[in-house]
Chains A and B, each alone.
Chain A
Amino acid sequence: GAVVSQHPSWVICKSGTSVKIECRSLDFQATTMFWYRQFPKQSLMLMATSNEGSKATYEQGVEKDKFLINHASLTLSTLTVTSAHPEDSSFYICSAWRDSSYNEQFFGPGTRLTVL
């Protein structure tokens, strides 16, 4: 199968601090990864597309200076929430795109961020 991991699974931080979330594809290479945000009982909201070796592409309304994305290798993308505030509290999910005829995306288990 195709496994995507995220670390940490949950994090609590104080307002004003920065938090880094890692997303790894464990058994396949992923030139493209995606970062989503999900509020309770809502659908997934795409934040940005992360491409290995190049700058991330952010969706409209997502602050690129707030949510820093680095796709360091073919198996690792990181999302850093800078100067986090309580309104940044959410469930963050990454996915990795596996090149196939079906454009398959595989999702990580998510990271619950709580900013106090």
Chain B
Amino acid sequence: QQQVKQSPQSLIVQKGGISIINCAYENTAFDYFPWYQQFPGKGPALLIAIRPDVSEKKEGRFTISFNKSAKQFSLHIMDSQPGDSATYFCAASKRGAQKLVFGQGTRLTINP
């Protein structure tokens, strides 16, 4: 119940295309869903986050779609650029708790 399952493990997208990464969770107590971007040899950086009271959140080229009934959320990267090539992690946490449960990560490669 504590797991967050992320797919795909790796993804190759052409420059200008849309990158889509999916995550699913079981624990209905989760109420905070962030996405992190990590470049090789660096720490993860908070990219965008959503709470279950909204179904979508957009920040620039990055959009989180959230489906509460299906217990799924996804990250969409529009107009993908080579600089977006990185590993992306979804995560979840419970209200009042501070621990994050991470997905397994997706290695995204944007071909020029």
Contact = CB atoms under 8 A, between A and B. Distances in A.
- The finding on whether chains A and B are genuine partners in a shared complex, rather than unrelated, reads yes
Interface of A: 4, 6, 32, 34, 41-44, 46, 49, 91, 93, 95, 97, 102-110, 112
5 contacts: A6-B43, A46-B100, A103-B98, A107-B46, A110-B41
A41 B105 CA distance: 8
B62 interface: no
Q: Which interface class (under 10, 10 to 19, 20 to 34, 35 or more) fits B?
A: 20 to 34
Interface string B89-105: 10001000111101111
Contacts of B89: 43-44
Contact of A112 (B41, B44, B103): B41
B105 A110 contact: no
Given A32-B98, A43-B104, A105-B98, 13 more contacts: A34-B99, A42-B104, A43-B102, A43-B105, A44-B89, A44-B102, A46-B99, A49-B99, A91-B41, A95-B43, A102-B49, A102-B51, A103-B32
B45 interface: yes
B27 to A, nearest CB: 15
B44 A107 contact: yes
A109 B39 CA distance: 10
Contacts, number: 54
A95 B89 CA distance: 15
A97 B98 contact: yes
Nearest to A33: B98
A105 B43 contact: no
Interface in B74-97: 89, 93, 97
Interface string B30-45: 0010101000011111
Interface in B1-45: 32, 34, 36, 41-45
A97 to B, nearest CB: 5
Contact of A107 (B43, B97, B98): B43
